[in-house]
């Protein structure tokens, strides 16, 4: 599979590449990134064919959106798909802060707001930071933070923006698959066009398959999968790496070790298996992977194209790492 392969985004008129670049790292996730390195990283993604970019106001408290806009400035808007999010406003003195953003802009912070007015203001602020007049995909970010407002007021605002062409597609960005399934069932018709699911459909956590992915397939809702390396455990499980775990649970550590052992035995890089696995499900259009350097982008594109033979997936089933009903990519 190639990074530049473009496919339809579900029932929308948009097309997305199989590989997307998540821009949280360029907002300073865990460690600072310079303006220059951020621009070079987006440039390298463009060079390898990536045309799907995902950001959010909360990523570095506006910094990721500003860098995305600067890096994509001058490129024809119709040649790429840009996603951002609503649910948090970046305001002076905002107190809903998160500890993992390195060196955020002084004096501002996020404030949760899923109201109709808050969403409309968030979109205006994002367009200003991005330097655009339209957003391709707009996610309701973490709707579980205020589910009643997210499923009603926030969706009403997004549906209105979609109807007048200010937004190409309406989506939700979630870390918990049951939240997304509940959202799709309870929201007013016609509902979201797509879902971004982070960390819940990968080699280590397949909870997205329990209900959400079959529901999306039945309704024609496209799925973008993020978090395929499980916070880096499938890329580099060494202690001290930025996994988002202070201590990796023993059961999880055992499964991580088993996947790495299988990959060694089969001669398949674990990151190749991880980035390709979600494409076994028909609802998945794209995998979105974060990067903070050009080399990381290039390596991910190379892993997406790396051969992973059917024998590898058969060995994973034989080892008990994949249950029989879990779909795997075609060879």
Residue 51, burial from CB neighbour count under 10 angstroms (0-12, 13-18, 19+): buried
Task: Give bridge partners of residue 139 from the DSSP assignment.
Answer: 85, 171
Task: Give all domains of the chain, ordered by start, each with its CATH number.
Answer: 6-232+271-319 (3.20.20.100)
Task: Read off the pTM.
Answer: 0.96
Active site residue 265: no
Report, in this order, helix, strand and coil percent for the chain, each rounded to 5.
40, 20, 40
Instruction: Specify the long-range contacts of residues 90-94, CB closer than 8 Å, at least 24 apart.
Output: 90/57, 90/58, 90/61, 90/62, 90/125, 94/61
Catalytic residue list contains 125: no
85 given a catalytic annotation: yes
Of the candidates 61, 80, 85, 183, the residue annotated as catalytic is: 85
Q: pLDDT tens digits for 10-32?
A: 999 999 999 999 999 999 999 99
Q: How many residues are listed for the chain in this entry? A: 331
Residue 144 has pLDDT above 90, yes or no: yes
What is the Cα–Cα distance from 288 to 82, expressed in whole angstroms? Answer: 12
Q: How confident is the model at residue 239 (pLDDT cuts 50, 70, 90)?
A: low
Of 59, 155, 183, 229, which one is the catalytic site residue?
59
How do residues 166-219 score in pLDDT, each as one tens digit?
999 999 999 999 999 999 999 999 999 999 999 999 999 999 999 999 999 999
Catalytic member of 37, 43, 47, 54: 54
Q: Mention every residue, 6+ apart, whose C-beta is less than 8 A from residue 72.
A: 42, 53, 80, 82
Q: What are phi and psi of 103, to 5 degrees?
A: 50, 55
Confidence label for 246 from pLDDT (cuts 50, 70 and 90)? low
């Amino acid at each position: 599979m190639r990074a530049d392969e473009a496919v339809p985004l579900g029932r929308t008129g948009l097309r997305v590449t199989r590989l997307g670049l998540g821009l949280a790292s360029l907002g300073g996730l865990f460690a600072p990134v310079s303006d220059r390195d951020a621009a070079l990283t987006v440039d390298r993604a463009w060079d390898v064919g990536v045309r799907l970019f995902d950001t959010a106001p909360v990523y570095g408290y506006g910094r990721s959106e500003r860098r995305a806009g600067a890096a994509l400035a001058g490129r024809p808007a119709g040649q790429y798909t840009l996603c951002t999010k609503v649910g948090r406003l970046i305001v002076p003195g905002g107190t809903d802060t998160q500890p993992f953003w390195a060196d955020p802009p002084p004096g501002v912070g996020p404030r949760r707001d899923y109201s109709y007015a808050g969403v409309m203001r968030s979109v205006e602020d994002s367009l200003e930071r991005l330097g655009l007049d339209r957003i391709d995909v707009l996610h309701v970010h973490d709707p579980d933070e205020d589910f009643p407002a997210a499923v009603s007021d926030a969706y009403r605002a997004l549906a209105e923006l979609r109807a007048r062409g200010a937004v190409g597609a309406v989506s939700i960005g979630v870390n918990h698959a049951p939240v997304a399934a509940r959202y799709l069932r309870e929201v007013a018709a016609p509902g979201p066009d797509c879902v971004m699911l982070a960390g819940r459909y990968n080699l280590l956590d397949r909870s997205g398959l329990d209900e959400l992915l079959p529901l999306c397939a039945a309704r024609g809702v496209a799925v973008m999968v993020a978090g395929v390396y499980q916070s880096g455990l499938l890329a580099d499980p060494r202690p001290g790496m930025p996994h988002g775990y202070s201590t990796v649970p023993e059961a999880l550590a055992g499964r991580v070790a088993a996947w790495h052992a299988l990959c060694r035995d089969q001669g398949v890089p674990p990151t190749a298996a991880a980035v390709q696995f979600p494409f076994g499900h028909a609802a998945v259009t794209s995998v979105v992977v974060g990067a903070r350097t050009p080399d990381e982008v290039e390596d991910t594109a190379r892993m997406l194209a790396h051969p992973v033979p059917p024998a590898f997936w058969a060995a994973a089933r034989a080892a008990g790492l994949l249950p029989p009903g879990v779909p795997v990519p075609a060879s």
